[in-house]
Amino acid sequence: MRSTTGQTPDYCAIEVAMEVLGGRWKLVILKQLLGGKQRFSELKRAMPQITARMLTRQLRAMEEDGLVERTVYREVPPRVEYTLTETGRGLDEIAGMLDDWGRWYLATRGGSLNGPPRMPARTDGHPVEGAVP
Amino acid sequence: MRSTTGQTPDYCAIEVAMEVLGGRWKLVILKQLLGGKQRFSELKRAMPQITARMLTRQLRAMEEDGLVERTVYREVPPRVEYTLTETGRGLDEIAGMLDDWGRWYLATRGGSLNGPPRMPARTDGHPVEGAVP
DNA sequence: CGGAATCCTGGTTGATACTG
DNA sequence: CAGTATCAACCAGGATTCCG
């Protein structure tokens, strides 16, 4: 296991942030929860792409990381609500900036990442620049 | 199949940002490059943990995503320099915030992520709240 | 020097079915 | 409703070796 935790002198705090916030869903869930307390099914409905399994796992991880709080109501139809903790809410600004940046990026770059619709010849797009000074 | 790319109406821009910036290295590399133009070996030396393969891959991905620019000098000992593009430099603030947050998070949470020192009973920590309205 | 090619692993994600 | 269990696929990431 990779430290990121330990006293290795070679990590940078961004790695820590990415370990807590990284992955495909964490920040999306967080953004959802910025809208206020929500229950499992609401979150699920808000993010159709995520599977129940992943949603559970991410929420658990975020809970362990102190980002969300989980409240279980023992009712006949079970109810579980999720809220952001102070720590979680503190990510408001960062989430917002990433969201803005993502939107801006999409707009600038024409809505296509480097995924499936990969531009053919681009690897050697700008081949050689200049000679040595 | 994961879109994030397509015209699915259900993604949020954060996903885009995470797809471009996510992973373990991208932002670390970016942060390194914020210090100015550097060549491959310099980057490698600055991040001893990364393998040459990963560094190459990440740099290529970032290049394709328009974050870094790659300049090849055809010298006898080959030289390749990497710089941030405008787009890349535009991430300065976000990288800084994530870095700050990571540092703060480490400090607050005692320098340990969710790894080893896991709180035992917390799943049902506050077991039952109230009844249904 | 700055990679590319190849092989490999295990952690993460997903689909599906079942349960309290 | 809010999960859990199980199986399977995928891919980030790494080790090693070779190349211009």
Mutation target among B98, B103, B124 for the A interface, most CBs of A within 10 A: B98
Residue A42 phi/psi, 5° resolution? -65, -45
CB atoms under 10 Å from CB of A50, counted, come to 18
- pLDDT confidence of B75, banded at 50, 70, 90? confident
Average pLDDT, chain B: 78
- Residues of chain A positioned with their CB less than 8 A from the CB of B20: 102, 105, 113
CB nearest B94 (choices: A97, A103, A117): A97
> Are the Cβ atoms of A49 and B10 closer than 8 angstroms?
yes
pLDDT of residue A3: 37
Give yes or no for A121 touching B (CB within 8 A): no
For the sheet with B38-39, list strands across it. B38-39, B79-84, B68-73
Most confident segment among A22-26, B20-24, B89-93: B89-93
Q: Which alpha helices (DSSP H) does chain A contain, by range?
A: 13-21, 26-33, 40-46, 52-64, 86-89, 92-108
Predicted confidence pLDDT, tens digits, chain A (133 residues): 333 333 333 468 899 999 999 988 999 999 999 999 999 999 999 999 999 999 999 999 999 999 999 999 988 889 999 999 999 999 999 999 999 999 999 999 865 544 333 333 223 323 333 222 3
Chain B, residues 57-96, CB within 8 A of chain A, namely: 60-61, 64-66, 71-75, 79, 87, 90-91, 93-95
Give kind and range of the element (H or E) at residue B63. Answer: helix B52-64
For the sheet with A38-39, list strands across it. A38-39, A79-84, A68-73
Which nucleotide is closest to A40, CA to C1'? D2
pLDDT of residue B76: 83
Q: How many contacts (CB atoms, under 8 Å) link A and B?
A: 182
pTM: 0.78
Tell me which residue of B54, B68, B112 sits closest to A64, measured CA to CA: B112
pLDDT of residue A12: 81
Question: How far is the alpha carbon of B45 from chain A, nearest alpha carbon, in Å?
Answer: 11
CA A126 to chain centre: 33
Amino acid A31 reads K
- Residues of chain B positioned with their CB less than 8 A from the CB of A105: 13, 16-17, 20, 87
> Are the Cβ atoms of A130 and B71 closer than 8 angstroms?
yes
For A74-78, A113-117, B41-45, B93-97, which range has the lowest pLDDT when averaged over its residues? A113-117
Question: How far is the alpha carbon of A87 from chain B, nearest alpha carbon, in Å?
Answer: 9
